[in-house]
Structure 1
Amino acid sequence: MSGRLIGLFLLAVAVIGGVGIWYLQIHAFYEEVPPSGPRDVVLTPQGGGAPEPVAHDDFRAIDSASSPIRYRACFTVEAERAALAEAYVTLDDAVPLVAPGWFDCFDADAIGAALEAGRATAFMSVAQLEYGIDRVVAVFEDGRGVAWNRINDCGAAFFDGDPVPPGCPPPPET
């Protein structure tokens, strides 16, 4: 009889632990980012220079202080995607990161498929937002836009403890 009680106790602890871990990963650390104005969506101009604001509406975003790559945003842009591609730095290697399911405007699989099929264009928003982290914006044919943070080559090497590639800024002191 006591073996059953121990088994039930262990099962209950496992279930409570699993639910707790799920909640912490999916809900606990994310916060809504309130729209703050024109600088919510910026793109880096071709030829260099500081990122410039892009006219947008319907801005929704989430972020977490627990990781620099948890930022996700959705919005609509007023400019045509082709006009943006002529003026701002485009990216060929953008891969969206998965967002929590409850942030339903950001579907990484659909964004990735649209980028591969040419129905969306990825742009550099801000390079080195913080050391090793870039912000990427993707704009669809219909004017919908999404943004996320990614680890760049400098960050990947630095975070792995490897020497940073040539052209990277000096890494921060650890």
Structure 2
Amino acid sequence: MTGKILALAILVCAVVAGGAMYYLQVYAFYEEVAENDVEIALVPLGSDTAEPIPYETFEGIDANSSPIRFRACFHTELTLSEAAETYKLYPDAAPRVAPGWFSCFDADAIGEMIEDGRADVFLGQRNIAYGVDRVIAITEEGRGYVWHEVNECGDKAYDGTPLGEDCPPPPES
């Protein structure tokens, strides 16, 4: 009888711990980002300084627990062709999955639009956090999606590879 009670207690603890981990990963750390707390900007060709672009209907989330948890959606009057002629493209970017409750950001659908050429990804800000760039995808329909992408220096810093001369020194921890 004691074994059954002990097994039941272990099972209950495992279910509670699993539920808590799920809640913490999907809900607890995320906060809504107010539209006036974020500037949607793109880096023009031939420059390193981002310029704001016009946008509306902004929705965003972020978490202090990781620099790559930022996600946002918006509408813009900037066309995809205007953006491609004016701003720096960001090659090989892939949208990161957002929590299911943040319904405006569907990483699979955004990825398909990028692959099909119905959207392009542009550099929004280099090193928004060390080794992390803000990137912005703009679609043919004027929809915009923002997320953070680990850059080459970030890949090297996080896997322990020597940084090289192209990377800024990492921040003091």
Map residues 24-39 of structure 1 onto 2, 5 A cutoff: 24-36=24-36
Verify: 1:51 aligned to 2:11, yes or no.
no
Per-residue CA deviations over 1:107-144 (Å, capped at 9, x if unaligned) read: 11111111011011100000111210100000111111
Residues 1:123 and 2:127 aligned together: no
In structure 1, C-alpha distance between the alignment counterparts of 2:34 and 2:5, rounded to whole Å = 49
Q: Paired residue for 2:155?
A: 156
Identity score, percent? 47
Paired position in structure 1 for 2:63: 64
Q: 1:60 aligns to what SS in structure 2?
A: strand
Name the Cα RMSD after superposition: 1.2
Secondary structure of the 2:35 match is coil
Paired amino acid for 1:148: W
Q: Does 1:17 align with 2:14?
A: no
TM-score computed with the length of structure 2 as normaliser: 0.96
2:143 maps to which residue?
Answer: 144
Distance between the aligned counterparts of 1:146 and 1:131, measured in 2? 21
For residue 171 of structure 1, report the CA deviation from its aligned partner.
2.2
**Amino acid in the other structure paired with 2:8:** L
Structure 1 stretches of 5 or more lacking a match? none
Unaligned runs of at least 5 residues, structure 2 = none
**2:5 paired with 1:2:** no
State the alpha-carbon separation in 2 of the partners of residues 21 and 15 from structure 1.
Answer: 10
TM-score when scaled to structure 1? Answer: 0.95
**Number of equivalent positions:** 173
